[in-house]
């Protein structure tokens, strides 16, 4: 039974991945747009950041760019879920001898794989732009782990949005605050340069802890309490979003 469950998930994920590779606008949203933002920040605004060289600013802003890429990527998960729900795809698959939750988990696995691909592409472009890291293998594994839990947390938010939305625009609208949050964090400028009220918000929202953790690991430094704060945020978001998405799934799809 377990083998069939994982086989069903793999089949559903393969279906979703085909949609991604056939959609040029999805590829642009998930990888090209964050890369364009990175190019703009480095070569247009980088000189005003006083970080020494454009290469050092690439290193500084890369964590924030990765989070924006993930936020853009999970928006597609929400969109595809909404399309499947509105077209009755879930009911059609549920009439077949497959696990009822496999369709949903297929979207989640697709989000993890597609975001991983997007992250790798962005890091490679940053490398071409001059990004270098003193991180060792354990640091890189730590970065990968943090990004994985971030993708998982935001994917469950996307699942909740996709299952709850009434329109196509509403399905992806949840991602706009997520894309904006890095701008009010330590992702692009130090929080010390911000006005007091903005600084208090920036220093106590999840993006800053996540960015600071990734930045420390890339510099082969201790992340301190930031890593535990980041993990706590991600775990909390995942649990809440999962429980709400599970309830919505049962109410809208299974009933």
> What tens-digit pLDDT sequence spans the chain (255 residues)?
455 667 777 777 777 777 776 765 666 666 777 888 888 888 776 655 555 555 678 888 899 999 999 998 888 888 888 887 777 776 776 666 667 667 778 888 888 888 998 899 899 999 988 888 888 999 999 999 999 999 999 999 999 998 888 888 888 788 888 888 999 999 888 888 899 999 999 999 999 999 999 999 999 998 889 999 999 999 999 999 999 998 888 887 766
C-alpha–C-alpha distance, residues 96 and 15, integer Å:
16
Which of 168, 13, 176 has the alpha carbon at shortest distance from 82?
Answer: 168
What are the structure tokens assigned to 15, written together? 């279906």
Q: What is the reported pLDDT for 130?
A: 85
Q: What is the reported pLDDT for 203?
A: 92
Q: Judging by beta carbons within 10 Å of its beta carbon (0-12, 13-18, 19+), is residue 241 exposed, middle or buried?
A: buried
User: What backbone phi and psi angles, to 5 degrees, belong to 137?
Assistant: -60, -35
What are the structure tokens assigned to 74, written together? 């999970």
Contacts of 95 (CB under 8 A, 6+ apart): none
Cα–Cα distances (Å) from 65 to 12, 37, 44, 251, in that order, read 29, 8, 15, 36
C-alpha–C-alpha distance, residues 115 and 161, integer Å:
18
Number of residues that this document lists for the chain: 255
Q: What is the reported pLDDT for 140?
A: 94
Cα-only R_g, the chain: 19
Q: How many domains does the chain have?
A: 1
Q: What is the reported pLDDT for 193?
A: 84
- The CA angle 155-156-157, to the nearest 5 degrees, is 90
Q: What is the reported pLDDT for 1?
A: 47
Q: Which domain holds residue 126?
A: 2-254
Q: What string of DSSP letters covers 153-201?
A: HHHHHHHHHHHH-SSHHHHHHTHHHHHHGGGGTTTTS-GGGS-HHHHHH
C-alpha–C-alpha distance, residues 206 and 63, integer Å:
13
Q: What is the reported pLDDT for 225?
A: 92
């Amino acid at each position: 039974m377990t083998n069939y469950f994982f086989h069903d998930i793999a089949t559903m994920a393969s279906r979703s991945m085909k949609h991604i590779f056939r959609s040029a606008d999805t590829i642009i949203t998930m990888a090209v747009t964050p890369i364009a933002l990175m190019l703009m920040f480095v070569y247009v605004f980088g000189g005003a950041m006083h970080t020494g060289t454009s290469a050092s600013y690439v290193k500084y802003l890369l964590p924030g760019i990765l989070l924006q890429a993930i936020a853009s990527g999970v928006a597609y998960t929400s969109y595809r879920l909404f399309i499947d729900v509105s077209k009755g795809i879930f009911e059609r698959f549920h009439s077949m001898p497959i696990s009822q939750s496999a369709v949903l988990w297929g979207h989640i696995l697709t989000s993890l794989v597609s975001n991983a691909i997007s992250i790798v592409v962005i890091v490679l472009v940053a490398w071409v732009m001059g990004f270098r890291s003193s991180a060792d293998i354990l640091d890189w594994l730590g970065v990968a782990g943090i990004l994985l839990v971030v993708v998982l947390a935001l994917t469950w938010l996307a699942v909740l949005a996709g299952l709850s939305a009434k329109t196509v625009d509403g399905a992806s609208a949840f991602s706009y605050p997520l894309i904006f949050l890095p701008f009010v964090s330590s992702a692009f400028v130090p929080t010390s340069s911000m006005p007091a009220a903005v600084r208090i918000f920036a220093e106590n929202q999840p993006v800053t802890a996540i960015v600071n953790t990734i930045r420390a690991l890339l510099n082969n430094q201790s992340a301190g309490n930031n890593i535990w704060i980041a993990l706590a945020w991600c775990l909390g978001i995942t649990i809440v979003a999962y429980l709400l998405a599970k309830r919505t799934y049962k109410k809208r799809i299974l009933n």
